[in-house]
Each structure stands twice: as C-alpha cells, then as structure tokens.
Amino acid sequence: MNPGKLFDLHGRTALVTGASRGLGFGFARCLAAAGADVAVTARSEGSLEGIVAELEALGRKCVPVTLDVCEESSIRPAVGMAEEALGRIDILVNNAGCNVRKPALEVTWAEWNAILDTNLRGAFFVAQAVARGMTARGRGRIINIGSVTSVAGYAGLAPYGASRGGIRQLTMSLAAEWGPAGVTVNCLAPGWFRTAQNAVLYEDETWVKYLSDRIPLRRPGAPEDLDGTLLWLASDASAYVTGQLILVDGGISVNDTRALPAARPERG
C-alpha cells in the first residue's frame, strides 16, 4: 500500500455521535478534512446547523441526524437515515457522553442512570446498529471514546469513571466478536481537555496550574491533539489494530492521579 494513502479517507463515510460541540465537533471536522463524508448527530438537529455548514465548506457531504442515544426507539432509525443518506457507514465515532461531578455519597439514582445510559448503554446500541451493515460488508472501523478515567480513578467522578471503564471492556468484547467479520473496534481515551461541558473547571487558575504541573507535557490537551490518533484508528493505517485503548493524555496517566484535587462542580 502507498504510505501516502494510509490516512486518506476519500470515498469513506462516517457517523459521529454527540457532534454538536466540543470534541465531537472536532472529530467530525477532522474526518471531513481527511476526505470522509460525515453524518453528525445530536438530540436537536437545530444545534447542528453551523457544523453542517462548516463541514460542507470543506467540500464534503454532511448530513445532520437527530439521535438521542438514551432512547432505544431513536437509535436504529437514526442510523438508518445516515446509511440512506451516505450509502453506508464505514466509520463510527461513538462520542456522545455526559457527566455529573460530585462526591459519591451525593450521587442520585437518576444521575447514575443518566451517565451510564448515555456513556455506556447508548454507545453499545449505536455500535450494534452500525455493525449490522459493517459485518455484512466485511469492513468497518468503530472508535469508542473513552477517557483517562478508563484506567485511573478520580474523586468526584465515580459514575463517569464506571462508564468509561465499561467502555474499555466493551471495546475488547466487541473487537473479539466482530474482528472475524473485518470490523476493528478501538477506544480513543483523551486526558484532560477543555470542553463546553467542563469549561467551568478551567476558570480556577490554581486548579489549572496544579493540573498542568501533573501532566508531563505540562498543559491540558487541545482538540487538535486528538486528530492524529483519530485518523490512524479510522483509516487503513490501523488495519491490524483492534481491541485497544489508546490514551492521548499528555502522559498524566503515568502519574498518581489520585492526588489531583477536587475543583468546583461542573454546570449541567
């Protein structure tokens, strides 16, 4: 294979969940810039208007799809709509997620369910819906989005950590099951990245300095820091890689993360 073509996604199609903002938007933009046509999802199609315009400006087809990963009745119709519009789905980025930051003794039943339903159950059933076509065609790339909390424990993040640890195990199980059908399943695990969901944390300068001092590369991540690993996992460059968790965290996972201090609660 021509090494120059390893990361080329022209002729490929992708579905990115939770693409209306933050890392999900960055993932969709990265795939489109590499040549893929992309279906982007959110719970409200109106929140995708700007994303669609930006990706189409890159010369790619972009399809907005309404999808609530917590609703069983939403998943298969949304995947079907994306497949109909794009012809098929070659790449799935399972990005939709949520979080509540609070002490474990204060987590409610409803908060636990919301986080696990979105981050773990939803990810499984979206993968299941997309994999029906992938396994039938004998090819596909599924990229589950995990977190440094997939491998490390942080105070105040018990349900989130449980969901992200589950994503790691789910990735391995699906890789084992769908590998014989030509589908790779891997987990991209970001470290500390500033997003709309956690922006309030970064208003605390003392906390940001302490965090940065604990990261060997001495800074939180920027969205573009994920592009290279995402493209590798989505493309032919990773054809013989499956069932793996790839940390993109500036090295914080090599330190004792339990010492990271609590910060102010996140909004929403």
Contacts of 200 (CB under 8 A, 6+ apart): 264, 265, 266, 267
Report d(CA 126, CA 82) in Å as an integer. 12
The stretch 102-109 carries a mean pLDDT of 95
Report d(CA 37, CA 251) in Å as an integer. 33
Q: Report whether 211 contacts 220 (CB < 8 A).
A: yes
* Residue environment code for 81-112, b if the CB has 16+ CB neighbours within 10 A, otherwise e: bbbeebebbbbbbbbbbbbbbbeeeebeeeee
DSSP string, 131-151: HHHHHHHT-EEEEEE--GGGT
**pLDDT level of residue 237 (50, 70, 90 thresholds):** very high
Comparing 83-92, 119-128, 217-226, which segment has the lowest mean pLDDT?
217-226
Q: Is the pLDDT of residue 128 over 70?
A: yes
- 192 vs 234: which has the higher pLDDT: 234
**pLDDT level of residue 262 (50, 70, 90 thresholds):** low
pTM of the model: 0.91
**pLDDT level of residue 168 (50, 70, 90 thresholds):** very high
Domain ranges of the chain: 3-250
- What percentage of the chain carries pLDDT values higher than 70? 93
Q: What is the pLDDT of residue 85?
A: 97
Q: What is the CATH number of domain 3-250?
A: 3.40.50.720
The stretch 105-124 carries a mean pLDDT of 96
Report d(CA 190, CA 213) in Å as an integer. 18
Q: What is the pLDDT of residue 2?
A: 66
**C-alpha distances in angstroms, 248 versus 31, 38, 109, 172, 220?**
18, 23, 31, 18, 11
Q: What is the pLDDT of residue 267?
A: 42
Q: What is the pLDDT of residue 142?
A: 98
**pLDDT level of residue 225 (50, 70, 90 thresholds):** very high
Helix 122-137, helix 158-178: angle, nearest 10: 20
The stretch 167-176 carries a mean pLDDT of 97
Comparing 25-34, 115-124, 191-200, which segment has the lowest mean pLDDT?
191-200
Report d(CA 240, CA 117) in Å as an integer. 31
Q: What is the pLDDT of residue 18?
A: 92
Q: What is the pLDDT of residue 268?
A: 40
Looking at residue 262, its amino acid is A
Q: Which of 173, 200, 79 is nearest to 134 (CA)?
A: 79
Active site residues: 160
The stretch 187-196 carries a mean pLDDT of 87
The stretch 30-59 carries a mean pLDDT of 92
Rounded mean pLDDT of the chain?
91
65: left (phi over 0), alpha (psi -120 to 50) or beta: beta
